[in-house]
Structure 1
Amino acid sequence: MIADLAPQLPRTAILVLVFVLATGLALAVATLARNRTRVRARLEAMTRGGVVASGGSLRGEQQSSAWHGLVNAIERSGLSLADTNSAALADKLAEAGFSSPLAPRIYTLVRLVATLGVPALFVLFATLTGRTGSLVQLYITGAALALAGLYIPTLIVRARADRRRDRLVRDFPDTLDLMLVCVEAGLGLEAAFDRVGREMMHSHPLVAKLLAGVVLELRAGRSREDALHRMGERARVDQIRSFVTLVIQSDRLGSSIGKTLRVYAAEMRERRRLSAEERAHRLPVLLSIPLVACMLPVMIGVLMLPAAIRVVRDLIPAMAGGG
């Protein structure tokens, strides 16, 4: 049966590809037409002097993406993508840089597809190629792929969060130095955030994004204390939270922001130097593992092999002859 299906595989693949392309083109045209209709309706409402619906905000437009439509379609079909501990999951994803309100549901969808889809594709491929093997082997391989699809997204998110945290800690002392220069040149704190954020947009994009968020919130009317607190919550890094607390206390007490920035910048540079020294001191311990595992057996073999050869050549024949 597999041999009969083999000549039809290229034709089936071409038909599936054509179907996917046609469906994608239809969805793109429909999305473009819907966006044009929405924009035309908003323009007409603004021309008539009417009030635009609250769903036309920037957040609503951001959520009307392809992911938003896919998640809503799946949840309308009866499958809930809400996690039992959505607050902790949202915090974990925010630490990795996924701050969208849709991130927890998209993460659940990706894990679900990876857990069920990867074993299904493997079973389908094994069936079409005739390499199924025994039922036990097929079951074990499918279970292993399901576990990999379940835990690999979690490992990716954790690794991304660690990289983001390390990058923020590494880049923030340079930000404080530039901010100190701006403050000592006569700029206010908001202007310093704006200038440093625009200056570091390409070199340190994560820190620049945090500073840009503070500037936008301050211009929107939020108080400086609330904007700085939200910056610390978005960063989710202890050093930046300590900096936020220090700036807020300096602002309340009326002390010099320049002196505060100078002292904290020196402290963060000292922390960065100590962290680099700690990593350097860990290298001998890490290098001892491959040395013991790879070089020690070779050295033992080189030292013991001549003695073993002499025992085989001389001692064993002598003992055999003497017996």
Structure 2
Amino acid sequence: MINALARRAATRTRLNEVRGEQTRLTDPTSLRGDNMAKGWYKLTEIIEKTGISLVDTQGESLRARLVAAGYNSPHAPKVFTALRLGMLVMLPAFFVGLIFLSGTEVSPFKLYLVGVGLAIFGLYAPNLFISAKADRRREAIVNGFPDSLDLMLVCVEAGLGMEAAFDRVGREMQNSHPLVAHMLSIVTLELRAGATREEALRNMANRTQVTEIRSFSTLLIQSDKLGSSIGETLRVYASEMREKRRMRAEEKAHQLPVLLSIPLVACLLPVMIGVLMLPAIIRIVRQALPALSGG
């Protein structure tokens, strides 16, 4: 009994470590990354001690966006808010200081416009960065998830349970699709820590914020409750995911002619018009100029 409790405690500790591995703002495997992350957290504490609250009014939605981008730390929303406030103030201040140090004369209206533009950029640039990173992570997960389903189907048909299948597939996909492997490893650790299969699958869907993962989690939960075959469920859903991936590739291929027409029209059409019209223009000039000059 004591050994089982000790193993469960060790599993929970490992789960907390894995959840926090991708929350650091730099490489979590380096000492420099650890020190930089601690420096950000200390900076937020210092700012909050001055009386400035870094708690966002839309904390839950911000937390979900940061988790989707890979920042799972509880300090991530405060660091994000502090970064936005710092860029909002520091970018216009840096521009004004640069103008005064260089001695360049700038009109107050232009100084005001540039300062406001830099402040708006500093306010919205972190949001754009988080959205872009979340989109890249979603795309990487969606592209690698069909392969994980095929491996999971092989494991289930070989006689492994869901927890063992998640663990095996997560270890097999460390090099090919690390984000998918990390997602499955967290689910495995949650199951070993005592969470139910429904809780672990729903947490996986909430962390990734991917429609395909959410549908997969719902499908497995329903199959588990209804007692249907997990192998058949995985086979059908894996086939659908491969079909969706093929359709996405075909959609991008069909978009290429439309996208290529824009640079072709913008670059080639003026040149073609010039080549076709230039001889006529030269001939008109040669005949019109002598007639206008009275020759």
The interval holding the TM-score normalised by the smaller chain is 0.7 to 0.9
Residue 22 of structure 1 is matched in structure 2 by none
Identical positions, percent: 60
- Aligned with residue 244 of structure 2, among 232, 255, 271: 271
Whether 1:106 aligns to 2:40 is no
Q: Secondary structure at the match of 1:141?
A: helix
Please list, as runs of the form range in 1=range in 2, the aligned pairs for 1:292-303 lying within 5 A after superposition.
292-303=265-276
TM-score under structure 1 length normalisation: 0.77
Whole-angstrom CA distance in 1 between matches of 2:168 and 2:118 = 49
Q: For the residues of structure 2 that align with 1:234 and 1:163, how far apart are their CA atoms?
A: 15
2:56 is matched by which residue type in structure 1?
A: D
Secondary structure of 1:142's counterpart equals: helix
Q: 2-side partners of 1:131 and 1:202: how far apart? A: 54
Which position in structure 1 is the counterpart of 2:167? 194
- Between 1 and 2, higher relative CO (CA 8 Å, sep ≥ 6) is seen in 2
Cα displacement (A) at 1:80:
1.0
Q: Which residue of 2 aligns with 1:315?
A: 288
5 Å-filtered alignment, 1:11-30, equals: none
- 1:135 pairs with 2:73: no
Q: Which runs of 5+ in 2 are unaligned?
A: 1-15, 24-36
- Show the counterpart of 1:284: 257
SS of 1:65's equivalent in the other structure is: helix
- 1:208 counterpart = 2:188: no
Q: Distance in 2 between matches of 1:306 and 1:118?
A: 54
1:182 matched to 2:130? The reply is no
User: CA shift at 1:227, angstroms?
Assistant: 0.9
Two-structure CA RMSD over aligned residues (Å): 2.1
1:232·1:241 contact (CA, 8 Å) conserved in 2? yes
Q: Which runs of 5+ in 1 are unaligned?
A: 1-57
Is residue 2:44 matched to residue 1:71? yes
Q: Is the 8 A contact 1:132 1:138 kept in 2?
A: no
Question: Which of 171, 181, 185 is equivalent to 2:144?
Answer: 171
Q: For 1:151-194, what per-residue CA distance to the aligned partner results, in whole angstroms no more than 9, with x for missing partners?
A: 21111111111111111110100111111111122111100101
Higher Cα radius of gyration: 1
In the alignment, the residues of structure 1 paired with residue 117 and residue 208 of structure 2 have an alpha-carbon distance, to the nearest angstrom, of 36
More off after superposition, 66-75 vs 193-202 = 66-75
What is the one-letter code of the residue matched to 2:194?
G
Q: Which amino acid aligns with 1:148?
A: F
Matches of 1:71 and 1:202, distance apart in 2: 35
Gap change, CA 1:243 and 1:181, over 3 Å in 2: same
Residue 231 of structure 2 corresponds to 258
Indicate whether 1:85 and 2:71 are aligned.
no
Residue 68 of structure 2 is matched in structure 1 by 95
Deviation for aligned residue 1:67: 2.6
Bigger shift: residues 259-268 or 246-255:
246-255
What letter corresponds to residue 202 of structure 1 in structure 2?
Answer: N
1:112 aligned partner, one-letter code: L
Structure 2 residue 191 is the aligned partner of structure 1 residue 222: no
How many residue pairs end up in the alignment?
A: 264
Q: TM-score, normalised by structure 2?
A: 0.84
8 Å Cα contact 2:64-2:207 kept in structure 1 = no
**Contact 1:247–1:257 under 8 Å retained in 2:** yes
Q: Secondary structure at the match of 1:296?
A: helix
